Amino acid sequence: MADPNQRSTDALREFNRGRILDALSRTGSATRAQIGATTGLARSTVTDLVGELLAEQRLLDIAGDQLTERRAGRPSRRLVLAPTSDLSIGIDFGHSHCRTGVIDALGRVLAVRSAILDVDSSPVGALERARAMVAELLSGLGTDRHRVVGAAIGLPAPVNTVRGTVGPGNVLPQWVDRHPADELQAALELPVQVENDANLGALGEMAFGAARSFTDVIYVKASTGIGAGLVLGGRLYRGSTGRAGEIGHVPIDPAGAVCRCGNRGCLESVASVTQVLAMLQPAHEETLTMTRLAELVRLEDAGANRVLGDAGRLIGRVLADMVNNLNPGVVVLGGELALAGEPLLVGVRDSLDRFAQPDMVRDLAVRIGTLAENAQLIGAGALVLSPDSSS
Ligand SMILES: [Zn+2]
């Protein structure tokens, strides 16, 4: 019969190994010292257990500059979870497009299919088109199809992830009370989850992008709609009914235009892609698109910089209150407005400097997301393949 002391030592060892793996699944990568700080384990214990996990090929030990921007001096060694061969499918719905992709365990998008379609008013057509695109992706994988372990859908609306339904309200009214994950699950014969698109962006940037190594994150998706994904203490925070982070409907101007939610002067009705383009349009003869706006920003067009900066200042004003309440480590800007670049970031930073608590802003990183238009797909991959940070 096993010695009870030995049994408890083994259990403690297993528990501590789990803490190390959990810490790495939350932060993406870490040095041995950071693992020690996060878990509270002694340096010798970390060295011992990391050595064991490396020998079992559950971790990889790689040069820091392979993961982060190059810095002067000798790069520190960082540990990451060893990739599994599992694959996932991401399905990212915007208000008027759908982008689908195959994602591997390292957060790489291996193949993409996308289409312009009327998501808002035609959920049946949008889901059928997504199913067809995913079927093409799976067929393109050939015999590797069996490596796909699940799929996740991102929607630009509040999602009740317990019931798998789109929340009530005027944001995606035709989708309310539908069960999109169940509908696709039956058609694809794969486990399918559904999640708010900003939440997926937060998970993606935390696992593989600009929020890596942070545990308290605000991710903003600023596109046709504006929403935030919150990660608090390393876990996605959805709120009691999946509506946390609905910053697009914070009133900015009580006398402003009526928003689709029924309120007046919401952030979304003054700082979305639609509003920014409409603001700049009178100064141009051509019909403006976000691609053209991004070009104008690169050409240092004063008007383009101005409207994007003003949108950033409005978004930053709303974020300042959130920063004061939540004290995050990083704010990551994503979505189509963020793709246009620097002026948005400068505007957000201006308002945070002015309206958030100086002590908090001093230690706050504010960044454009590094995953760009793939943030939601990669977040879907993280949700399917590393579910720890989302539960
Ligand atoms: Zn609104």
Residue 332 lies in a domain: yes
Among 26-30, 50-54, 126-130, whose mean pLDDT is lowest?
26-30
Residue 96 lies in a domain: yes
Verify that 229 and 365 share a domain, yes or no. Answer: yes
Q: At CA 280, angle to CA 279 and CA 282, rounded to 5?
A: 90
| CA–CA dist 341, 9 (Å, integer) | 53
Over residues 34-50, the pLDDT tens digits come to 999 999 999 999 999 99
Residue 302 lies in a domain: yes
Which of 46, 81, 116 is the last residue before a domain boundary?
A: 81
Token pair listed for 334: 């994503």
Dist. CA 253 → ligand 1 center (Å) = 11
Verify that 91 and 63 share a domain, yes or no. Answer: no
SS (H, E, C) 200-245: HHHHHHHHHCCCCCCCCEEEEEECCCEEEEEEECCEEECCCCCCCC
What percent of the chain is predicted at pLDDT more than 70? Answer: 94
CATH number at residue 142: 3.30.420.40
pLDDT attached to residue 264: 93
Dist. CA 129 → ligand 1 center (Å) = 29
Give φ, ψ of 88 to 5 degrees.
-135, 165
On average, the pLDDT of the chain sits at: 90
Over residues 201-251, the pLDDT tens digits come to 999 999 999 999 899 999 999 999 999 999 999 999 999 988 999 999 999
Q: Which of 25, 91, 83 is nearest to 378 (CA)?
A: 91
Give the structural domain span for 30: 4-81
| DSSP-derived 3-state class of residue 49 | helix
pLDDT attached to residue 128: 94
Dist. CA 264 → ligand 1 center (Å) = 7
Q: At CA 351, angle to CA 209 and CA 308, rounded to 5?
A: 70
* Residue pointed to by tokens 């978004």: 315
Over residues 123-164, the pLDDT tens digits come to 899 999 999 999 999 999 887 888 899 999 999 988 988 888
Dist. CA 231 → ligand 1 center (Å) = 23
Residue 383 lies in a domain: no
Verify that 51 and 117 share a domain, yes or no. Answer: no
CATH number at residue 45: 1.10.10.10
pLDDT attached to residue 27: 79
pLDDT attached to residue 70: 47
Dist. CA 192 → ligand 1 center (Å) = 29
Give the β-pairing of 77-81 and 87-93: unpaired
| CA–CA dist 41, 47 (Å, integer) | 10
Verify that 350 and 257 share a domain, yes or no. Answer: yes
Q: In the predicted model, is pLDDT for residue 18 greater than 70?
A: yes
| CA–CA dist 236, 254 (Å, integer) | 31
Are the beta carbons of 376 and 204 closer than 8 angstroms?
yes
Verify that 248 and 159 share a domain, yes or no. Answer: no
What average pLDDT does range 336-364 have in this prediction?
95
pLDDT attached to residue 69: 45
Dist. CA 246 → ligand 1 center (Å) = 9
Q: What is the number of structural domains in the chain? A: 3
Residue 380 lies in a domain: no
pLDDT attached to residue 372: 94
Which of 81, 114, 145 is the last residue before a domain boundary?
A: 81
| Secondary structure letter of residue 266 according to DSSP | B
More confidently predicted of 273 and 82: 273
| CA–CA dist 141, 222 (Å, integer) | 33
Verify that 176 and 314 share a domain, yes or no. Answer: no
Burial (CB count <10 Å: 0-12, 13-18, 19+), residue 131? middle
Verify that 226 and 358 share a domain, yes or no. Answer: yes
Verify that 354 and 220 share a domain, yes or no. Answer: yes
Q: In the predicted model, is pLDDT for residue 120 greater than 90?
A: no
Verify that 218 and 353 share a domain, yes or no. Answer: yes
What average pLDDT does range 277-301 have in this prediction?
95
Dist. CA 115 → ligand 1 center (Å) = 27
Residue 328 C-alpha from the chain's centroid: 15
Q: In the predicted model, is pLDDT for residue 339 greater than 90?
A: yes
Residue 254 lies in a domain: yes
Which of 27, 50, 81 is the last residue before a domain boundary?
A: 81
Dist. CA 262 → ligand 1 center (Å) = 6
| CA–CA dist 12, 301 (Å, integer) | 61
pLDDT attached to residue 364: 97
Verify that 214 and 121 share a domain, yes or no. Answer: no
Reported as a pLDDT band with limits 50, 70 and 90, residue 389 is low
More confidently predicted of 105 and 143: 105
Q: CB atoms < 10 A from the CB of 291, how many?
A: 11
Verify that 240 and 357 share a domain, yes or no. Answer: yes
| CA–CA dist 341, 296 (Å, integer) | 11
Dist. CA 252 → ligand 1 center (Å) = 10
Token pair listed for 145: 């199809």
Dist. CA 43 → ligand 1 center (Å) = 51
Dist. CA 248 → ligand 1 center (Å) = 6
Dist. CA 247 → ligand 1 center (Å) = 9
Residue 178 lies in a domain: yes
| CA–CA dist 190, 376 (Å, integer) | 19
Dist. CA 261 → ligand 1 center (Å) = 4
Residue 10 lies in a domain: yes
| Secondary structure letter of residue 307 according to DSSP | H
- DSSP string for residues in 126-145: HHHHHHHHHHHHHHHHGGGG
Dist. CA 373 → ligand 1 center (Å) = 24
| DSSP-derived 3-state class of residue 383 | helix
Reported as a pLDDT band with limits 50, 70 and 90, residue 111 is very high
Verify that 162 and 222 share a domain, yes or no. Answer: no
| CA–CA dist 269, 267 (Å, integer) | 5
Dist. CA 251 → ligand 1 center (Å) = 7
Over residues 303-323, the pLDDT tens digits come to 999 999 999 999 999 999 999
